[in-house]
A and B are shown apart, each in its own frame.
Chain A
């Protein structure tokens, strides 16, 4: 039997980002945009990006409704990706994905995730992994011009 770690999931940082999400607004004239959908919980998320000619993410915002995990994850993602280049964002997406499914252990493996490592315990909640990953998949879809992303495809 696994011991309970909900307290690890609902850490103060996550609760705080849920309560006051950063960059929680629609972005006018985005260069990239996608809608993410998790049919399991009915959550919708919209991610907007403005990327300049040097392929640097100048602005990144999100909108939508969801649980604390998905909202906090989206909020922290926007914080982390602002100012990053697209290759850096892609690298972080890849690492974040590995982190939430338990393949990347931030205490052992090298990574560039910074404070996003807080989501390292979520792999123990398979049904909640998609909550943390929704914004990232949506962002990745936006960068690759996929307008609609579902966690079930």
Chain B
């Protein structure tokens, strides 16, 4: 049993939590869209812009050395955070979407060809569907989709059936942003590897809920965003095994990704710089480092434990509301509560609870195929983080009940 979790102390670290919306204290339940930022992150970004503004990997002057050191220090922090073997396997990107696109554009275009099959699941975010569709269109590859059951769980036997000699890539979400489902990702990776098939894990919704160990998972690629991990927007990570990254061509050309350029011939830089063309989001990367340090100072095991209690409480509370149906009831689930309510469209609910200062997401959550699977145009989604409380869930329930009275 982890030590007591002091949520009130944690809440003091997040300035956003202390503002009001429509005259009511903000209840922020849209963490799967983006998370709030702790003071440590805001200060790190501010410090960079106030005192250390400089480009990285370029100047010999003092500021550039300082900024480069801070930037590269984050690479070490990320390496430790996801337990990668080497810092050079950590590539900074614009976010999960960018990370996945680098893999489709670089690995995909170099190594996948006509009739090769790529497997994804029915619960993917558009960012893990569309880049593969674009590749399929260009290369004549075939996209295969693993179906899910009514609880929103991957049907593992169907995945086994889809795997075969033609399967050349598996790209799968770890935690579903719409359903909260935690996929048995290690089992998926192990099985795919029996078919000599590399696996990309979309970890966008996993890194803030679960401890990650990419070597233990043995995934070949792992993608995540900074802003869903309490860090800045516009920065993310692509982890790739060195043996893959070394074989892959750069996805973009430009400065920093070269070792020498003449008009006849350009030699590419070593890892990770080969994949980091142009001036990166220096302040964002530094802020991401601060975010990871902050999360680690609390501890993901503790976070997981606290959030599972919140999820259980929230599930019970929402289920008790007549006419409310939870979408996504997997056995293994992160703190995401997607639901629909009889006679109230999710958008009306979203506007009405907003009046009480509550931020939830309403819509298709960039998972349109999933909405079709459950035969709903949209859902309302409350997604929780470790700074949320049972009292906030009570506020949501009260507000939903109030909205229901408008739509008898």
Question: Which of A66, A68, A69, A125: most chain B CB closer than 10 A?
Answer: A68
Q: Are A4 and B348 in contact (CB under 8 A)?
A: no
Q: Mark A1-27, 1 if CB is under 8 A from B, else 0.
A: 111101001100001001100000000
Which one of B22, B351, B362, B407 contacts A15 once the chains associate, using CB atoms below 8 Å?
B407
A128→B345 CA distance, assembly (Å) = 13
B20 sits at the interface (CB 8 A): yes
| Contact between B20 and A1, CB atoms less than 8 A apart | yes
Chain B's interface size range is: 20 to 34
For residue A43, which residues in chain B have a CB less than 8 angstroms away from its CB? 377
Q: Check if A42 sits within 8 Å of B22, measured CB to CB.
A: no
- CB pair A42 B371 closer than 8 Å: yes
Nearest-CB residue, chain B, relative to A128:
B351
A: interface residue count bin: 20 to 34
Q: Taking A41-B362, A42-B371, A66-B345 as contacts, is the C-beta distance between A6 and B378 under 8 angstroms?
A: no
Q: Which residues of A contact B3 (CB under 8 A)?
A: none
CB proximity of A127 to chain B, nearest CB, Å: 8
Q: A1-B20, A41-B363 are in contact. Are A69 and B348 (CB under 8 A)?
A: yes
Contacts of B351 in A (CB 8 A): 6, 9, 125, 128
Seen from chain B, the residues whose Cβ lies within 8 Å of a Cβ on chain A are: 20-23, 344-348, 351-352, 354-355, 362-364, 368, 371, 377-378, 406-407
Using A19-B407, A41-B364 as known contacts, list a sample of 9 further A-B pairs with CB atoms less than 8 Å apart, ordered by residue number in A: A4-B22, A6-B354, A18-B407, A41-B346, A41-B347, A41-B378, A42-B377, A68-B344, A131-B347
A-B contact pairs, 21 of them (CB 8 A): A1-B20, A1-B22, A3-B23, A4-B355, A6-B351, A6-B355, A10-B352, A10-B406, A15-B406, A19-B407, A41-B345, A41-B363, A41-B364, A42-B364, A42-B377, A44-B377, A66-B345, A67-B347, A68-B348, A68-B407, A125-B351
Interface residues of A (CB under 8 A from B): 1-4, 6, 9-10, 15, 18-19, 40-44, 65-69, 125, 128, 131
